[in-house]
Each structure stands twice: as C-alpha cells, then as structure tokens.
Amino acid sequence: MSEMARLEVPIDAPSPGRTPAPEEGSRPDGTDVLRPHESRYLNRELSWLDFNSRVLALAENGSLPLLERAKFLAIFSQNLDEFFQVRVSGLREQVDAGIRSTSPDGLEPNEQLRAIRARVEPLVRRHAAVFTDHIRPELEAARLKICDWDELSDSDRARLEDEFEERIFPVLTPLAVDPAHPFPYISNLSLNLAVLLRDPTTGSEGFARVKVPPLLPRFLALSDGNLFVPLEQVIAAHLGALFPGMEVLAHHPFRVTRDADFDLDDAADDLLEAMELVLRRRTKFGAVVRLEIDGKMSSEVLELLCRELELTDGDVYVVDAPLDLGSLWQLYGLARPELKDEPWVPQTPPVLARSDTTPDLFKVLQQVDVLVHHPYDSFATSVEAFVDQAARDPDVLAIKQTLYRTAGPESRMVRSLIHAAEQGKQVVALVELKARFDEQANIERARIFEEAGVHVVYGLVGLKTHTKILLVVRQEAEGIRRYCHVGTGNYNPKTATLYEDLGLLSADPDLGADLTELFNYLTGYSRQGEYRKLLVAPITLRPELRRRIEEQAAKGPDGLITLKMNSLVDPELIDALYAASQAGTPIDLIVRGICCLRPGVPGLSENIHVRSIVGRFLEHSRIYRFGADLERAEYLIGSADLMPRNLDRRVEALTPVTAPALRERLGEILAINLADDALAWELDGAGNWHRVPTTAGSNVHEQLQELTVQRARAVDARS
C-alpha cells in the first residue's frame, strides 16, 4: 500500500432526504462548481485524520533515521488517543443527546462517527503494519530487539523472573469479576490483561482483570539494553503467581480510551478548585469511547468487555501490533545518536550575539525590534535571557506574562519570575487552567508562583487565554519604558527546541500601550474595544482579518494573500477567501493540520493553493501576509489559527511586524515554505492530500538551519 493509500468514503454525502442549500457550491451566476455530493467545506474531523496520516507517512519513510521513524509511530498513537478522548467523545455525546445538527460540511454527528470509523480502521492497520513489517525488524538489525516472551532464552527468563518478583509483583492487583466482585473501573488509556481462569476443584470458570502498572517501563531491558520485552508479556507469563491454585485458560491485552473533555465551570467561586474537580471527573467518570484489543481475543471475552463497558462493535479496534505504541518514546530516549537526526544546536540571534559580553537586551531593543525564530534561534539566549535580565534589573518595576503550557518549576523562566517577585517587583502570571491535558501542571505552577508572591490570575470567565504575550515595565531616565514580547508559541524551553515558532521582541510604545491595556482586560474589569497595533480576539481579530482579505479581493489579480497557520476551519473566513479567489486574487495557504477549505475548484477556489509541511519540527507559527508589494505588504504574527474557537472563544493576539528587515525575513520564511518539495503535501479540491513531487529537493527545515548557521558565522567573522 502506498503512503497516501487510504479508504475513500463520500464524506460530504447528504443524509437521505436532505439536499444542499441552493447557494452552496454555486458561482455568482448560479451554475454549479461542485458535484452534488460535495460541500463547500471539508469535514474538520476527517481533515485532522488526514493530518495524522501525514505523520504516519513519516514513520513509513525509509530515508529517515530509524528511531525518528519510531518516534513518529509514537506521535501518531498519542495523537489518535487525544482525538478519541476529545473529538470522538464530543460526537458521541451529541448522538446520545439526540442532537442532529450538522457540521458546516453537512454531516450529522452519527454520520461523522461512521466516516471517522471508516477512516481510522485503515490508519490503524497501516500503523500496525509499519511497526510489524519495518520498524521492529529494523530495530532488531540495529541491535534493539523487541522480543516476545516465548523467544527468550532460559537465562533471560530467569533474570525477568527475578525482576518480576522484586519490582512488578508487589504493585499488581488482580481484580476478579463475580457476584461478590463487580466489574472493576478501567482507567483511561490503561493497558490491561483480561484473564480467563478455571478452578480445578470445582470446574467453575471466572474472569479477572490485571492492570499493567503505568509507572513501570513498558519495555523491560535485557542484555545490556539491547533486548526489550513488553511488560504485559512478562506479567502474562507469571499469572500463576497472581492466581495460585487456579488454571489460567487464556489472557488477552486490551486498552480503554475514555471521554476526557470536561468543561470547567467558569461560574465557580474558586477556579482552582473547579479545575481540580474537572481532573477528578476526567479520571473517574468519562464514558468509554474506544476499546483496543489484539486479534487473538476470544469472542467470549470481547462480548463481556463490550457489555460491561457499554460498547458496540463500532467502538472496538483490532490492533495487529503491541497496544499503545506511544510507549516507543522509551526507545527513542536511548543513547543511540546514530539512529536519530543529527542534533540541532539553536543559534543566538545575530543582533544579540556578542563574543565579549552578555548583551543588554534593553539597550538592543531601544535601537531595533528583534524577531526570533525557534528552534533555529535560541530560546535560552533570547526570550529566557530577556525575562532573566528583567528579573535582575533593579530598574524593572513589573513583569506581566501569560502562561499556557509551561515548563516545570526548575525551568529558568519560572525561576526568573519567582526571583523577580522575591525582589519586590510587581509580577503577574496569567496561568491558563484550561490548557487541555496540561491542567495539573498549570495548577502546580500556579501554587508555586503564589507561594513566591507572584500575582496569579486565571483569565476571563468563558474565554480561554491562549495569547502568548510578555510585558516588562522599566523606570528609565526619560521616564517609564515598556518592553514586549508577542509570540506564536508557548513559553516553554522544551517545546522551543521541537516546535517552529516566532516571537517579536520590541520596545515600540504603541505595542507596549496595547499590551498594558490587554493585561488590564485580562486581570481586571475592562471593556477595551480598540487597540493601536494589536488584533485581539474575541474583540477585533475576526473583523480585521476579514477586512484585510476583502481589501486584497478588491485588488483582484494585483492582490496577494499568504497565510501560514496550524488549522483553517472558520466558515466565514473560508467564504471570504473563496470570494477573494473568485475576484482573481492569488492565495497561498500553508496549513499544517486541519483544512476545511477546498482549493482549486473552478469558479470557487481555483486561485487558492493549499500545502502542508510535516517533518522534523512541528510547524506551529502563524504568519499572515496581505499584499503583493514587498515594501507595503502587511505581516502579522501571533497565537491565533483561523478557527471559531480562536476567533470567538479565546483571547488571542496578532501583532504587526513593521521593521523592514524583519518583514523581509518573514517573507523569506514564507517563500522557503512555498518552495519546499521534500516535506510538503498539497490538497486538491476533492479533499485528498498528495505529496509534492521532489525535483529540487528543497527541505524547509534544513534550509532554515543553514541560513541560521550562515548568519551566526557572519557575526563570528565580524567579531
């Protein structure tokens, strides 16, 4: 099967008896431009699955280092886990509630679930086949063998028996199911063994569940770390110790995925306590939305699990590989550099690079704005250094920062904020408690900040604070001066080495005034409706982006729109882009993940081209360019994708980048993305993604690395 092969289903077929609205898919003269079964929009959920298919294609790419391919298998697995916990669970809730409202592409919730099932099954088969047929044997050839229990030598089994008795057996809790023992709660994403037993004295048969301890390594290492055995197989081989005197008839691994999408009660008196309640509900009360089993499970055991977990056959996925291949991260963590990408060392931005002394970032920003591009530019010597200098500078009066997905308490930035508070500076940390799956970490971080005297704020009622902004207020001889950072990514040093993101460091007075007012909006009572430079959601972002699209549409072929983002979902802005295309405006969209726009449809979107870059670094920055004239084109960067949630239900901010040299660099980044023919995929009007044919071999990540090194060498040569 080719990398792009997948099951094609009529995802936009209308339900029986329902026809598309007359205006859908029509030219201004009323003639049809789409086939009858097609909607103006692609389905959001299926588009996301197509993105995960592109991730899987990286694992299938034999030219990549072996452990990098194993890593992409793990990412695919974890992505799919989150998809079921959030997106599938939400559709299931709608079906259970009898909701029949349609998505923008015209599908009811039950239709979407059927289409998802049809799309996921072949992806699961591809995923298992890549591991079984390629990754596993290639790991063995590289002296990293994942071995089944039956393949072990007697000496290796003896070593694992000692390991079982000392480390594993004491933490196992077998749970029987009988009239005195109800079916146990199966926790979310847990790996388990279903065990069938017989009492040799009475002949009666029973069922028990054994949970595989998540705190132990998934793969137990032998032979100096070159041989690994799945933990569940070691447990299965010692079931006799868990059920002494009983006969083990069969054992089967299974894994459960639950609904993890619980809403926070914004009206609660204490948001911290309310979020802790949400986390407890996620742990204990989420309905099961997926059951993963291997192909050997008996119908008897499967029927029991489905009955007790209240599942149908449509919720069961058979996996012909070890369950939960997200655990391949364990192998990726091994010290085998020859099986990984060559390490990339981020470089200090040239304007901040000094061979003789640590630069004074305040003096630099008094002269020029600085654009940082991670992971190519160092996060440590730019953003972290900026916060660290602000924390130590006696003239700094206040530091205000939003924190969405933060690093641990040991991180340099967290330490700097705590140090600043201890020095008596006014430090405000807006910690977003609703950052999905990082809630517990953010709760812990908020408490650490509060204990240190940091003013901790949890954002606005009904809105998630997703914007990435930082404000430093400094007393100088001329008066108060404000220094700013507006970014596209989280203030997290770990993701800054893996995610491609941008940030603007500036002392622009208008931008500083805007951030001051935005923080007042976030921390106090404010109804700020206008800003000098920032576009802010949910206030000005949507109408201002639409206005810019319409301005380019009015220019027709002389206009230009180039947008780089993670996801494009919003129907209103998609329609605005369609209208611009119909006016003749060229539009290039670089969309890493979800794209609900159909490009290249005659009479609708023939002037729109959509591509996706998926590779070593996760493309995360948002760059919005409006205008064909390089000197007059407008560039915006920030935290917002073009999705209803970003535009209407989150606090987001985009900032213009006005310095000519920085605008030129943003144009360069977009041009390199559009020229890539090594990592790029293109979307067609039918909703299918295709690899861009490789001719020049242009790899955006490698090219940006090389440009970064060239800039650093130029600085060294001048030193």
pLDDT tens-place string over residues 99-112: 999 999 999 999 99
The Cβ of residue 239 has, within 10 Å, a number of other Cβ atoms equal to 18
Phi, psi of 443 (to 5 degrees): -60, -45
Q: Is residue 337 within 8 Å of 479, Cβ to Cβ?
A: no
Phi, psi of 289 (to 5 degrees): -120, -10
Q: Is residue 464 within 8 Å of 650, Cβ to Cβ?
A: yes
pLDDT of residue 658: 97
Nearest to 170 by CA among 102, 238, 123: 238
Quickly state the pLDDT bin for 86 (edges 50, 70, 90): very high
Quickly state the pLDDT bin for 559 (edges 50, 70, 90): very high
Is the pLDDT confidence value at 27 over 50? no
Residue 479 forms beta bridges with which residues? 476
Domains of the chain (ranges; CATH) run 1-139 (1.20.58.310), 143-311 (3.30.1840.10), 350-523 (3.30.870.10), 535-718 (3.30.870.10)
Is the pLDDT confidence value at 490 over 80? yes
Is the pLDDT confidence value at 400 over 80? yes
pLDDT of residue 277: 53
What is the rounded (10 degree) CA torsion for 701, 707, 710, 714? -140
The model's pTM: 0.90
For the stretch 176-210, what's the b/e string if a residue is b when 16 or more beta carbons lie within 10 angstroms of its beta carbon?
ebeeeeeebebebbbbbbbbbbeeeeeeeebbbbb
Can you tell me the distance from the alpha carbon of 262 to that of 674, in angstroms, rounded to the nearest whole number?
A: 39
Is the pLDDT confidence value at 279 over 90? no
Nearest to 635 by CA among 536, 576, 571, 548: 548
pLDDT tens-place string over residues 249-278: 999 999 999 998 755 445 444 545 554 554
Better-predicted residue by pLDDT, 443 or 679: 679
Q: Say which DSSP state 642 is in.
A: B
CA 463 to chain CA mean position, Å? 20
Residue 501 forms beta bridges with which residues? 374
Nearest to 432 by CA among 407, 414, 458: 458
pLDDT tens-place string over residues 45-82: 999 999 999 999 999 999 999 999 999 999 999 999 99
Considering only 92-106, 328-342, 439-453, which range has the smallest mean pLDDT? 439-453
Mean pLDDT score of the chain, rounded to an integer? 89
For the stretch 659-689, what's the b/e string if a residue is b when 16 or more beta carbons lie within 10 angstroms of its beta carbon?
beebbebbbebbebbbebebbbbbbebebeb
Is the pLDDT confidence value at 348 over 50? yes
Q: Tell me which amino acid residue 436 is.
A: R
Residue 337 in tokens: 């550099």
Q: Is residue 442 within 8 Å of 414, Cβ to Cβ?
A: no
pLDDT tens-place string over residues 407-430: 666 688 889 999 999 999 999 988
The Cβ of residue 122 has, within 10 Å, a number of other Cβ atoms equal to 14
pLDDT of residue 11: 32
360: helix, strand or coil? coil
Q: What is the average pLDDT across 544-551?
A: 98
Catalytic residues, which ones?
466
Q: Tell me which amino acid residue 430 is.
A: L
Better-predicted residue by pLDDT, 19 or 517: 517
For the stretch 634-649, what's the b/e string if a residue is b when 16 or more beta carbons lie within 10 angstroms of its beta carbon?
ebbbbbbbbbebbbee
Better-predicted residue by pLDDT, 32 or 531: 531
Q: Is residue 432 within 8 Å of 442, Cβ to Cβ?
A: yes
Q: Is residue 466 within 8 Å of 639, Cβ to Cβ?
A: yes
Considering only 217-231, 260-274, 397-411, which range has the smallest mean pLDDT? 260-274
pLDDT tens-place string over residues 463-487: 888 999 999 999 999 999 999 999 9
**What are the DSSP E strand ranges found in 178-246?**
191-198, 205-211, 219-222, 227-230
Is the pLDDT confidence value at 431 over 80? yes
Q: Is residue 219 within 8 Å of 330, Cβ to Cβ?
A: yes
The Cβ of residue 249 has, within 10 Å, a number of other Cβ atoms equal to 12
Percent of the chain predicted with pLDDT > 90: 78
pLDDT tens-place string over residues 363-385: 999 999 999 999 999 999 999 99
Q: Say which DSSP state 342 is in.
A: P
